[in-house]
Amino acid sequence: MFAVIRTGGKQYKVASGDVIAVEKLVGSTGDKVEISDVLMVDKKVGSPLLKGAMVLAEIVKQFRDDKVIIFKKRRRHNYRRKKGHRQYLTEIKITDIKA
Protein backbone atom coordinates (compact mmCIF):
# COMPACT_ATOMS: atom_id res chain seq x y z
CA MET A 1 0.00 0.00 0.00
CA PHE A 2 1.34 3.43 -0.92
CA ALA A 3 0.16 7.00 -0.58
CA VAL A 4 1.00 10.36 -2.12
CA ILE A 5 1.27 13.09 0.53
CA ARG A 6 1.84 16.84 0.37
CA THR A 7 4.04 18.59 2.92
CA GLY A 8 6.24 21.65 2.66
CA GLY A 9 4.87 22.48 -0.79
CA LYS A 10 6.16 19.21 -2.27
CA GLN A 11 4.59 15.83 -2.98
CA TYR A 12 6.05 12.50 -1.87
CA LYS A 13 5.10 8.92 -2.73
CA VAL A 14 5.46 6.92 0.49
CA ALA A 15 4.87 3.40 1.75
CA SER A 16 4.89 2.01 5.26
CA GLY A 17 8.46 1.80 6.59
CA ASP A 18 9.90 4.48 4.27
CA VAL A 19 12.32 7.07 5.67
CA ILE A 20 12.19 10.45 3.88
CA ALA A 21 13.54 13.96 4.44
CA VAL A 22 10.90 16.72 4.27
CA GLU A 23 10.86 20.45 5.01
CA LYS A 24 11.07 21.20 8.74
CA LEU A 25 8.17 19.96 10.87
CA VAL A 26 7.57 21.10 14.44
CA GLY A 27 8.61 18.48 16.99
CA SER A 28 11.61 16.68 18.39
CA THR A 29 13.14 13.25 17.88
CA GLY A 30 10.67 10.46 18.66
CA ASP A 31 7.51 12.58 18.32
CA LYS A 32 4.57 11.23 16.32
CA VAL A 33 3.30 13.26 13.36
CA GLU A 34 -0.01 12.97 11.49
CA ILE A 35 -0.04 14.11 7.87
CA SER A 36 -3.60 14.69 6.69
CA ASP A 37 -2.76 16.17 3.25
CA VAL A 38 -3.16 12.84 1.42
CA LEU A 39 -3.66 13.19 -2.32
CA MET A 40 -3.85 9.50 -3.25
CA VAL A 41 -3.94 6.06 -1.61
CA ASP A 42 -3.23 3.10 -3.91
CA LYS A 43 -5.55 3.82 -6.85
CA LYS A 44 -8.01 6.14 -5.06
CA VAL A 45 -7.48 9.76 -6.09
CA GLY A 46 -8.90 12.69 -4.12
CA SER A 47 -10.03 16.00 -5.48
CA PRO A 48 -7.75 17.48 -4.26
CA LEU A 49 -7.52 15.60 -0.91
CA LEU A 50 -8.88 12.25 0.20
CA LYS A 51 -11.33 12.72 3.06
CA GLY A 52 -10.45 10.77 6.21
CA ALA A 53 -7.12 9.51 4.88
CA MET A 54 -4.09 10.01 7.09
CA VAL A 55 -0.43 9.05 7.15
CA LEU A 56 1.21 8.46 10.53
CA ALA A 57 4.93 9.10 10.88
CA GLU A 58 7.64 9.37 13.53
CA ILE A 59 10.37 12.02 13.58
CA VAL A 60 13.79 10.39 13.28
CA LYS A 61 15.93 13.55 13.40
CA GLN A 62 16.04 17.28 12.71
CA PHE A 63 18.96 18.46 10.59
CA ARG A 64 20.18 20.99 8.03
CA ASP A 65 20.85 20.17 4.39
CA ASP A 66 24.13 20.81 2.57
CA LYS A 67 24.94 24.39 1.68
CA VAL A 68 23.63 25.72 -1.63
CA ILE A 69 25.73 28.50 -3.11
CA ILE A 70 23.89 31.38 -4.81
CA PHE A 71 26.22 33.28 -7.13
CA LYS A 72 25.06 36.25 -9.20
CA LYS A 73 27.23 37.94 -11.81
CA ARG A 74 26.71 40.53 -14.52
CA ARG A 75 29.20 40.42 -17.32
CA ARG A 76 31.48 43.44 -17.74
CA HIS A 77 29.84 45.38 -14.87
CA ASN A 78 32.08 44.29 -11.97
CA TYR A 79 28.99 42.91 -10.21
CA ARG A 80 29.38 39.75 -8.15
CA ARG A 81 27.31 38.51 -5.19
CA LYS A 82 27.93 35.26 -3.36
CA LYS A 83 25.48 33.93 -0.80
CA GLY A 84 24.92 30.57 0.91
CA HIS A 85 21.79 28.83 2.19
CA ARG A 86 21.22 25.72 4.34
CA GLN A 87 17.65 24.42 4.47
CA TYR A 88 16.20 23.01 7.72
CA LEU A 89 14.91 19.46 7.16
CA THR A 90 13.17 16.75 9.18
CA GLU A 91 13.76 13.06 8.60
CA ILE A 92 10.58 11.06 9.19
CA LYS A 93 9.77 7.34 9.15
CA ILE A 94 6.33 6.37 7.82
CA THR A 95 4.69 4.03 10.33
CA ASP A 96 1.14 3.59 9.01
CA ILE A 97 -1.21 4.62 6.20
CA LYS A 98 -4.90 4.92 7.08
CA ALA A 99 -7.35 5.16 4.21
pTM of the complete model: 0.85
Each residue's pLDDT tens digit, 20-61: 999 999 999 999 999 999 999 988 888 888 889 999 999 999
* pLDDT for the residue numbered 46: 86
Query: Rounded mean pLDDT of the chain?
Result: 95
- 28, 62 in Cβ contact below 8 A? yes
Strand order across the 88-98 sheet: 19-23, 88-98, 54-64, 32-35
